[in-house]
C-alpha cells in the first residue's frame, strides 16, 4: 500500500520507511521528475535518517529512553540545512501536484 493511500501511518516518523512508501507512489506518477533529482532527494533523506531516523531529535532533547538526542553534534549549519530542505521540498511539492493531477484524471 502506498503512503498516499494509508489512512494511518504505522511507522510514525520513520524517515526511511516514509521515504520508501512515498517513492513508490511518486515513481508511479506519470509526471515524475528525472532519476537524477530522485537520487539527490533520496541521498538527502538518507543523510537525515542517519542523524535522526525517527525525526524526533529536532523536537525533543531526549529520546524515549531518556538519552540525549543529537549527541555529539555541537553545531548546525542552518544556512546549509535550509538549502538541503529547499532542495528536497521543491521536488516533493512538485510530485504532490503531479500525483494530484494524475488522480484527477482517473
Q: How many helices (H) and strands (E) does the chain have?
A: 3, 0
With bands split at pLDDT 50, 70 and 90, how would you rate the model's confidence at 31? low
Residue 9 makes CB contacts below 8 A (sequence gap 6+) with 3, 18
With bands split at pLDDT 50, 70 and 90, how would you rate the model's confidence at 32? low
For the whole model, what pTM was predicted? 0.70
Distance, in Å, from the CA atom of 96 to the CA atom of 106, rounded to the nearest integer, reads 16
End-to-end CA distance of the chain: 18
- Tens digit of pLDDT for each residue in 34-53? 778 888 889 999 998 888 88
Amino acid at each position: 500500500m502506498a503512503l498516499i493511500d494509508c489512512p494511518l501511518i504505522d511507522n510514525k516518523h520513520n524517515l526511511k520507511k516514509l521515504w520508501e512508501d512515498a517513492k513508490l507512489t511518486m515513481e508511479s506518477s506519470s509526471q515524475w521528475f528525472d532519476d537524477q533529482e530522485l537520487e539527490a532527494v533520496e541521498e538527502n533523506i538518507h543523510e537525515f535518517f542517519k542523524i535522526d531516523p525517527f525525526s524526533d531529535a529536532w523536537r525533543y532533547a531526549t529520546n524515549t529512553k531518556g538519552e540525549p538526542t543529537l549527541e555529539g553534534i555541537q553545531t548546525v549549519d542552518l544556512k546549509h540545512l535550509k538549502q538541503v530542505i529547499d532542495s528536497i521540498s521543491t521536488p516533493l511539492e512538485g510530485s504532490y501536484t503531479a500525483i494530484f493531477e494524475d488522480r484527477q484524471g482517473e
